[in-house]
Amino acid sequence: MRTHTIPAAVIAGALALGVTACGSGKDGGDASGTLVVGATPTPAGEVLAYVKDHLAEKAGLDLEIKEFTDYVLPDTALQDGTLDANLYQHKPYLEDFNKSKGTTLSAVTDVYLPPMGVYSEKVDDVTKLARGATVALPNDTTNEGRALELLASKGVIGLKKGAGANASPQDIAKNPKGLTFKELEPAQLPRSLSDVDAAVINNNYALDADLSPRKDAILLESVKDNPYNNILAVKKGDEDDPRVKKLAALLTSPEVKKFIEDTYKGSVLPA
């Protein structure tokens, strides 16, 4: 169900040239133009492909999907106008991106929760990590803080009071095992498993690497009160675009809920 991934270099070139033709369907609320949506391949690209193949035509939505393999280009392309919407990130990441990059992106609706997990080829329980073990973390601000909060939830480390979602290794107040932390690009984390004792991996990259969050993670985020649902996002001011509203309704429909449940079997959870 996966569409072909567009190389980052191609996307970057398009951005450098200021290409806006992809978003040409956006003209004052016209519901007939093509809606171009960016996504990472799994699960966002697969969920969007299901919508395109099974639901969009009946709803009168012309949907085009562009896939990205990183977490930066989908937002810069959305701000630039190359995309009309994207699906891949949670709200804390979007808010941090707006703050750090000066973008004006807005959340439309929650779609699904991709629980972050700790994975290891060395131990089957995060509390069994040896003294001085090395743990790899995603190196972007919100996902690194999220990873540290996950480790702290099991008592592996303790964080300074108020560290929250933007925590970094410098915010670790207790480290009884003397763990060493290695910060890596999120996409590199699955490949690091043979070189580290454990890695905290974002759900989409775990699935891309044929890891099952439900079966393979030695520690997995709880669904309860989780702020990290992935969202459909647009550039601020485009929330009322009729095409965006159609897509939001389809992404939160019973059909998509069933697709997510049947396809990912608990490794991704509908919001």
Task: Report all structural domains of the chain as residue ranges with CATH numbers, in order of start.
Answer: 8-115+227-270 (3.40.190.10), 117-220 (3.40.190.10)
Say whether pLDDT at 9 is over 70: no
Q: What is the pLDDT of residues 17-49, one digit of tens each?
A: 333 333 434 444 456 799 999 999 999 999 999
Give the SS3 label for residue 161: coil
pLDDT tens per residue across span 198-216: 999 999 999 999 999 999 9
CA-closest candidate to residue 134, choices 184, 168, 209, 70: 184
| Model pLDDT, residue 21 | 37
Q: The pTM is what?
A: 0.81
Q: Taking 60 as the threshold, does the pLDDT of residue 4 lie above it?
A: no
Angle (nearest 5°) at CA 133 between 129 and 139: 110
pLDDT tens per residue across span 173-184: 999 999 999 999
Q: Where are the beta strands (DSSP E) in the chain?
A: 35-39, 63-67, 85-90, 105-113, 117-119, 134-138, 158-159, 172-174, 180-184, 198-201, 219-220, 230-235, 269-270
Q: Report the C-alpha dihedral over residues 34, 38, 42, 46, rounded to 10 degrees.
A: 0
Q: How much is the pLDDT for 161?
A: 94
What residues have CB less than 8 Å from 217, skipping those under 6 apart? Answer: 115, 117, 118, 119, 206, 211
Cβ atoms 140, 95 nearer than 8 A: no
Q: Using CA atoms, how far apart are residues 193 and 165, in angstroms rounded to an integer?
A: 24
Strand partners, 63: 35
Q: Which residue has the higher pLDDT, 5 or 184?
A: 184
The total number of residues shown for the chain amounts to: 271
